[in-house]
């Protein structure tokens, strides 16, 4: 015999893995929801049957990973999940990164954000809004095409082979003229920060600097974003230096691990 026989009545290995994957999917969508989800809503989002969701959700409740509101019958993150989140957050560098963003937003008066590359997009992971009435409001979870954001341009410009990488991204996305984008990236390398006027709103400008990781690997960048009138060409070097200073302060923090990058 080449393997150990499964005990009579024991579930197949494949079904065990499927159950774990389904439970993880239920946890994920409940955590991402604003006010929790009902059994029917979970079933609709996941494509699982109501009976399957009912079984999985109640198993997760029994393990304190979820809890259920008695009034609304919505499932919410449970006490064990919250404890795990607090412990993970404390070791993630996220609180320290938020402090750096707050200081940058206070110094510049503009919204400050951190973003990471996800394929050919940038995912905004942290943001501190400007306190001014006229401001850009970054939202964690937003995705922006890589080369349509100052963060993405900084990640590419200070990464390996930026000219070739830009050409590849633009070829896949059908983006703007390749040569113009490559010139902008080279200019960003020379300055130490990237500048991008929003292609969809000419009154909006962003300035970003890369956050270098181990081996000078660039996984994320920090930016400020606000009206062009408050970020004029004449002030770019001064403001760019402040953004670079924030990027330097973020080096060494394990923020990327908290958002699924290792």
- In tens, the pLDDT along 172-187 reads 655 556 657 777 788 8
Q: Are residues 98 and 166 in the same domain?
A: yes
What is the extent of the structural domain holding 71?
13-85
pLDDT mean across residues, the chain: 82
Q: Is the pLDDT of residue 233 over 70?
A: yes
Q: Where are the beta strands (DSSP E) in the chain?
A: 66-68, 75-77, 111-118, 121-128, 143-145, 194-197, 204-212, 218-227
200 and 218 part of one domain: yes
pTM equals 0.64
Identify whether residues 206 and 128 lie together within a single domain: yes
Question: Do 209 and 248 reside in the same domain of the chain?
Answer: yes
Q: Is the pLDDT of residue 11 over 70?
A: no
Do residues 235 and 149 share a domain?
Answer: yes
Q: How confident is the model at residue 125 (pLDDT cuts 50, 70, 90)?
A: confident
Cα 62 from Cα 76, distance rounded (Å): 13
**Residue 129 and residue 64 in one domain:** no
Inter-residue contact 209 to 240 (CB < 8 Å): yes
CATH number for the domain harbouring residue 173: 3.30.450.40
Q: Tell me: the pLDDT tens digits for 16-72?
A: 688 899 999 999 999 888 889 999 999 999 999 999 999 999 999 999 999 999 889
Question: 163 and 68 in one domain?
Answer: no
Q: Tell which of 45, 63, 85 closes a domain.
A: 85
Domain total of the chain: 2
Do 131 and 37 lie in a common domain?
no
Supply the pLDDT for residue 3: 45
User: Residue 6 falls within a domain, yes or no?
Assistant: no
């Amino acid at each position: 015999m080449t393997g150990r026989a499964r005990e009579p009545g024991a579930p197949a290995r494949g079904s065990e893995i499927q159950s774990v994957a389904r439970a993880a999917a239920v946890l994920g969508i409940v955590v991402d929801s604003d006010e929790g989800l009902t059994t029917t809503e979970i079933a609709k989002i996941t494509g699982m049957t109501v009976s399957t969701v009912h079984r999985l959700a109640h198993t997760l409740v029994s393990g304190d990973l979820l809890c259920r509101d008695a009034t609304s019958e919505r499932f919410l993150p449970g006490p064990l999940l919250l404890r795990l989140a607090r412990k993970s957050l404390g070791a993630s560098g996220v609180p320290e990164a938020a402090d750096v963003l707050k200081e940058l937003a206070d110094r510049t008066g503009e919204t400050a954000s951190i973003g990471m590359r996800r394929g050919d997009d940038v995912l905004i992971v942290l943001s501190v809004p400007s306190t001014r009435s006229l401001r850009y409001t970054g939202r964690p979870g937003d995705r922006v095409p890589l080369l349509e954001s100052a963060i993405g341009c900084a990640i590419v410009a200070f990464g390996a082979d930026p000219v070739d990488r830009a050409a590849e991204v633009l070829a896949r996305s059908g983006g703007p003229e390749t040569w113009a984008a490559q010139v902008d990236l080279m200019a960003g390398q020379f300055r130490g920060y990237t500048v991008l006027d929003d292609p969809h709103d000419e009154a909006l400008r962003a300035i970003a600097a890369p956050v270098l990781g181990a081996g000078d690997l660039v996984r994320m960048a920090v930016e400020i974003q606000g009206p062009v009138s408050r970020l004029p060409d004449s002030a770019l070097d001064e403001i760019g230096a402040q953004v670079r200073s924030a990027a330097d302060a973020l080096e060494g923090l394990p923020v990327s691990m908290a958002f699924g990058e290792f």
